[in-house]
A and B are shown apart, each in its own frame.
Chain A
Amino acid sequence: MTRRLEGKVAFITGAARGQGRSHAVRLAEEGADIIAVDLCGDLAEVPYPLGTAGDLAETVSQVETLGRRIVARQADVRDQPSLDAAVAEGVARLGRLDIVCANAGVNKPAPMLEMTEPTWLDIVDVDLSGVWRTCKAAIPYLLAGGSGGAIVLTSSAAGLKGYANIAHYTAAKHGVVGLMKTLAQELAPHRIRVNTVNPTQVDTPMIMNESMYKLFCPALDAPNREDFAPVSQAMNALPIPWVDARDVSNAVLFLASDEGRYITGVALPVDAGVLIK
């Protein structure tokens, strides 16, 4: 049986850990080679540590263990030249580009009135403008390849409904859905498809940290993962507290593969029913 992405190349941002690493591994399992980038450093406005160079090296090792090639580089989605350089080098080494996962993202909960301007600007810069820059870096290679392509932007359930205390994140993730629809229109003549995935809570360091536990369990002094679980589960319709990164990767794989060849302009929730609860 041939694999579902045999011979394709995927560019993934935020690939050092969490969902980005999971996407790299899942796509590689199905035959894709990977161009992986990550900031590999912390952001002043973000109250939890981000991926590290060591994390990115672990992604490389997991992809190589599957017998696939990977070009991994440090790049910041706030910095267009760093993305351009990474994609250029990746395509030069791997020969083509077919799939883009604009996955890098950050969050910092704060009630609207306590949200500072630097916080707002940073979150929007990474979560919305960073997605646009990722596409801008990659689209010329998809066009040059002449064989279509699939772009999957990581939005969120917060891209389709409101959540208190993350106005910047909700605005940015809604913006990603809008960007996806316009890109789908612009790129359809070239058979390049553009969709979003919209996850509910995912079991990654973005939410498994103290600032999130406090946001979800304001009544507790030092809430932990176990305190967070029932509160998180109460938001989902299915009886689970959160989804795994691999569940989002399976949706990305479906959208990226030829099985999704006529799916474009779609926001696909992977949300345990959060939107219909």
Chain B
Amino acid sequence: MTGRVEGKVAFITGAARGQGRSHAVRLAQEGADIIAVDHCGDIDTTNYPMATEADLAETVRLVEALDRRIVASHADVRDVGSLKTAVDAGVAELGRLDIVSANAGILSNGQSHELSEDTWGQMIDINLSGVWRTAKVAIPHLIAGGRGGSIVLTSSVAGLRSYNGVSHYVSAKHGVVGLMKTLAQELAQYSIRVNTVNPTQVDTAMIQNESMYRLFSPDIAEPTREDFGRASGATILLPIEWAESIDVSNAVLFLASDEARYITGVALPVDGGALLL
């Protein structure tokens, strides 16, 4: 049986760990080669470490173990030059581009009026403008390929409803949904489809950290993963604590594959029904 994205090439940002790594592995399992980028450096407005060089190397190992090719490099979604260099080099080596997963993102928190200019600014620069830059450097390759393509932007449930204490994140992720819709309009003529995935809490380093535990359990002195699980689960309709990266990857795979060849302009929640609560 041939893979569901056999022979295609996917460009993924934030691919060193978490959902980005999971997307790389899942798409590779279904036959895609990968262009992977990550900043591999900490961001001073977040309370948790970003991915490392070693994390990105592990993504490379996992994809190569599936007998797929991967071109991995450092790039910062705040720096369009670094993204362009990475995607151009990847396409030169792998021969084409079909799929884009704009996944890199950060999380920080604070009441709107207490956010610093820097915390607000970094959030918009990475989680919204970084997605636009990712699309900007990739789209010329998709158009040049002449075979259409699929762009999947990672938004969030926070792109479709608000959460108290993360107005910058909510604004950026709503912005990603808006960007997706305009891109879908602009690119339909090339048969390039653009959609978002909108996950609820996903079990990655972005939320499995002390700062998030405190945000979700303000009444507990030293909240644990278990405390967080209960609080997180209470925001989700299905009886689960959070989704796994693989669940988001399966949605990305579906949207990226030809099975979704006529799906565009859609925000697809992977949220256990969180939006209905």
Structural contact, A265 and B188, CB atoms closer than 8 A: no
In the complex the two chains form, is B184's CB within 8 Å of A273's CB? yes
The distance in angstroms between the C-alpha atoms of A250 and B184, with both chains bound, is 21
- Whether B9 sits at the interface, judged by CB under 8 Å, is no
Q: In the complex, how many residue pairs between chain A and chain B have their CB atoms under 8 Å apart?
A: 108
Contact mask B247-263 → A, CB, 8 Å, 1/0? 10011011000011111
A273 is contacted by which of B251, B259, B264, B275 (Cβ under 8 Å)?
B264
Interface residues in A209-263 (C-beta closer than 8 Å to B): 237-240, 243, 247, 250-251, 253-254, 259-263
The main secondary structure of chain B at its interface with chain A is mixed
Is residue B271 within 8 Å, beta carbon to beta carbon, of the partner chain?
yes
Query: Hey, which chain B residues are within 8 Å of A193, CB to CB?
Result: 238, 273
Given that A268-B266, A273-B265 are known contacts, is A239 also in contact with B189, CB under 8 Å in the complex? yes
| Minimum Cβ distance to chain B for residue A175 (Å) | 17
A223 to B199, CA, bound (A): 45
Contact residues in A for B264 (Cβ distance below 8 Å): 237-238, 272-273, 276
Question: Is there a chain B Cβ closer than 8 Å to A91's Cβ?
Answer: no
B276 proximal to A (CB < 8 A): yes
Contact among A237, A262, A271, A273 for B238, CB-based, below 8 A: A262
Contact at B263–A276, with CB atoms within 8 Å? Answer: no
Interface string of A176-190 (1 = CB under 8 A from B): 000001001100110
Task: List A contacts of B262 (CB < 8 A).
Answer: 200, 238, 240, 243, 247, 270-272
A265–B200 alpha-carbon span in the complex (Å) = 13
Interface size range of chain B in the complex: 35 or more
* Most A-side CB within 10 Å, residue of B238, B253, B275: B238
B141 adjacent to chain A (CB < 8 Å): no
The interface bits of chain B over 215-243 (1 if a CB of A lies within 8 angstroms of the residue's CB, else 0) are: 00000000000000000000001111001
Given contacts A181-B276, A269-B265, contact A262 B243 (CB under 8 A): yes
A263 touches B185 (CB 8 A): no
Nearest-CB distance from B128 to chain A (Å)?
A: 19
Q: Which residues of B have CB within 8 Å of A191?
A: 238-239
The answer to whether B261 and A247 have CB atoms under 8 Å apart is: yes
A200's closest neighbor in chain B, by CB?
A: B262
Contact B276 A276 (CB under 8 A): no
Selected from A240, A250, A263, A264, the residue in CB contact (under 8 A) with B259 is: A250
Contacts of A263 in B (CB 8 A): 251, 268-271
Cβ distance B258 to chain A, nearest Cβ, rounded Å: 9
In the complex, the answer to whether A273 meets B185 with C-beta atoms within 8 Å is yes
Say yes or no: A237-B270 contact (C-beta < 8 A), given A188-B238, A193-B238. no
Are B247 and A238 in touch, CB under 8 angstroms? no
Measured in the bound complex, the distance between the Cα atoms of B184 and A262 in whole Å is 26
- B residues whose Cβ falls under 8 Å from a Cβ of A: 1, 181, 184-185, 188-189, 191, 193, 200, 237-240, 243, 247, 250-251, 253-254, 259-266, 268-273, 275-276
Q: Apart from A263-B271, A276-B264, what are 10 other A-B pairs with CB-CB below 8 Å?
A: A185-B276, A238-B188, A238-B262, A247-B259, A259-B253, A264-B273, A266-B269, A269-B266, A273-B184, A273-B185
Residues of A within 8 A of B (CB): 1, 181, 184-185, 188-189, 191, 193, 200, 237-240, 243, 247, 250-251, 253-254, 259-266, 268-273, 275-277
